[in-house]
A = this chain, B = another copy of it.
């Protein structure tokens, strides 16, 4: 018996062979077995590290980070995941890159990938662009591998796009699995994914979309709440609806935060931008219409300011199941009276859940590492067994 046995046994019951040498782009492109394999491997890697056992599966190799915008936390999560597995991160920042200057995506994707085992991409700024760009990069390196330019096919991990935020939603879910004592305990629980007011009006939609697209996979009763005009992408709502049908939960929408919170087991109050406005903004940007953008921003700020009452207060929290719903957030949150005058959440609520929120965030590097592991290693169970049998110290004792 060794500490990896329970994970190996669990993996043995799951069919995830198609993940080998494949990307992780949208959670709804993956089977439930595959998602569960990611959770299981993430816990296994966490346990290895906790037990000071090396989980390096690479002796050398690069993880490429391709971020459209700066993001400290995503950067650290990705670097941590790569480092844990033995890959060195090389950034392809806009500042360091020629991508923006007309080079074809295909060429750049191949030129940076001669020794790349993984490419982590974050591209969430423009509606209709991020995921499309990722697919282009993915196809380019896939083709490069087939053509013989690239010895290996780099695995793409979607670190946030315009449609989904799979590493966030998966980390959130793994947190819930831990808090609720098992994936089977998600079934029947009510989740309120609700909009909340923030002074900054343009936050990405990928978090609520990722959450409703994923939590509906586990038989949860998912309620999406937001003011009128703050709709998310309809195609993701369709995904959530179909999931609910398939997996025996429900997906409903409301314009009332109160209704969403009522008897909820889990609440996720968070600001996001209105989809239609983001789409409009994307078009204005392509047209280079700065006056139009300025005008739109003015309208959005005005619209936004009308919904300051969408705040996760102590009163609202009391209306949740036994007043004890799990409060979630992807962080950083806009905390009323702390990071802003009026924000997404009351300071006392945030404070009470701070420890839990940090824990929630701590799953992300392991989720990313798990996605990489399952794509790069053909026989993950064998390798887990090998790692624990060799038991190389992570830190010398």
Q: Which chain A residues have a beta carbon within 8 Å of chain B's beta carbons?
A: 49-50, 54-62, 70, 72-73, 75-77, 79-80, 83-84, 86, 88-90, 92, 95-99, 102-104, 107-108, 110-112, 114-115, 117, 144, 147-151, 331-332, 338-340, 355, 358-359, 361-362, 364-365, 376-378, 383, 386, 392-397
- In the complex, which residues of chain B have a beta carbon less than 8 angstroms from the beta carbon of A89? 88, 90
Report whether B111 and A331 are in contact in the complex, using a CB–CB cutoff of 8 Å. yes
Report whether B96 and A70 are in contact in the complex, using a CB–CB cutoff of 8 Å. yes
Report whether A111 and B59 are in contact in the complex, using a CB–CB cutoff of 8 Å. no
Report whether B60 and A72 are in contact in the complex, using a CB–CB cutoff of 8 Å. no
Q: How far is the CA of A65 from the CA of B395 in the complex (A)?
A: 20
Report whether A73 and B148 are in contact in the complex, using a CB–CB cutoff of 8 Å. no
Report whether B393 and A59 are in contact in the complex, using a CB–CB cutoff of 8 Å. yes
- In the complex, which residues of chain B have a beta carbon less than 8 angstroms from the beta carbon of A362? 114, 149-150
- In the complex, which residues of chain B have a beta carbon less than 8 angstroms from the beta carbon of A79? 62, 88, 90
Given contacts A104-B338, A115-B84, A338-B104, contact A58 B355 (CB under 8 A): no
Q: How far is the CA of A331 from the CA of B103 in the complex (A)?
A: 10
Q: How far is the CA of A144 from the CA of B358 in the complex (A)?
A: 8
Report whether A104 and B61 are in contact in the complex, using a CB–CB cutoff of 8 Å. no
Q: How far is the CA of A86 from the CA of B83 in the complex (A)?
A: 11
Cβ-defined partner of A147 (8 Å) among B99, B104, B114, B358: B358
Report whether A92 and B107 are in contact in the complex, using a CB–CB cutoff of 8 Å. no
- In the complex, which residues of chain B have a beta carbon less than 8 angstroms from the beta carbon of A60? 54-56, 83-84, 86, 394
Report whether A115 and B80 are in contact in the complex, using a CB–CB cutoff of 8 Å. yes
Q: How far is the CA of A332 from the CA of B105 in the complex (A)?
A: 11
Q: Nearest Cβ distance between residue A201 and chain B, in whole angstroms?
A: 16
- For this chain, the copies found in one complex come to 3
A-B CB contact pairs (8 Å), 28 listed? A49-B151, A55-B60, A57-B396, A58-B396, A59-B392, A59-B394, A59-B395, A60-B84, A62-B83, A70-B95, A72-B98, A72-B99, A72-B108, A73-B98, A79-B88, A88-B88, A102-B339, A103-B332, A103-B339, A104-B338, A104-B339, A107-B331, A107-B358, A110-B361, A111-B331, A148-B355, A149-B358, A378-B397
Cβ-defined partner of A59 (8 Å) among B54, B98, B112, B377: B54
Q: Nearest Cβ distance between residue A276 and chain B, in whole angstroms?
A: 27
Report whether A83 and B115 are in contact in the complex, using a CB–CB cutoff of 8 Å. yes
**Ordered nearest first, which 4 A-B pairs have the shortest CB separation?**
A80-B115, A149-B358, A57-B396, A54-B59
Cβ-defined partner of A394 (8 Å) among B58, B108, B397: B58
Given contacts A117-B395, A358-B147, A361-B111, contact A97 B72 (CB under 8 A): yes
Report whether A57 and B111 are in contact in the complex, using a CB–CB cutoff of 8 Å. no
Q: Nearest Cβ distance between residue A351 and chain B, in whole angstroms?
A: 11
- Besides A56-B60, A102-B340, 16 new A-B residue pairs in contact (Cβ under 8 A), listed by A number: A49-B115, A58-B396, A59-B392, A61-B394, A62-B76, A72-B108, A75-B90, A76-B92, A77-B114, A80-B114, A104-B332, A111-B361, A114-B365, A144-B358, A148-B359, A149-B355
Cβ-defined partner of A332 (8 Å) among B73, B98, B332: B98
- In the complex, which residues of chain B have a beta carbon less than 8 angstroms from the beta carbon of A97? 70, 72
Residue from A57, A61, A83, A395 whose CB has the most chain B CB atoms within 10 Å: A395
Q: Nearest Cβ distance between residue A54 and chain B, in whole angstroms?
A: 4
Q: How far is the CA of A61 from the CA of B383 in the complex (A)?
A: 20
- In the complex, which residues of chain B have a beta carbon less than 8 angstroms from the beta carbon of A110? 358, 361
- In the complex, which residues of chain B have a beta carbon less than 8 angstroms from the beta carbon of A147? 355, 358
Q: How far is the CA of A117 from the CA of B396 in the complex (A)?
A: 13
Q: Nearest Cβ distance between residue A380 and chain B, in whole angstroms?
A: 10
- In the complex, which residues of chain B have a beta carbon less than 8 angstroms from the beta carbon of A108? 72
Residue of B with least CB distance to A99? B72
Q: Nearest Cβ distance between residue A58 and chain B, in whole angstroms?
A: 6
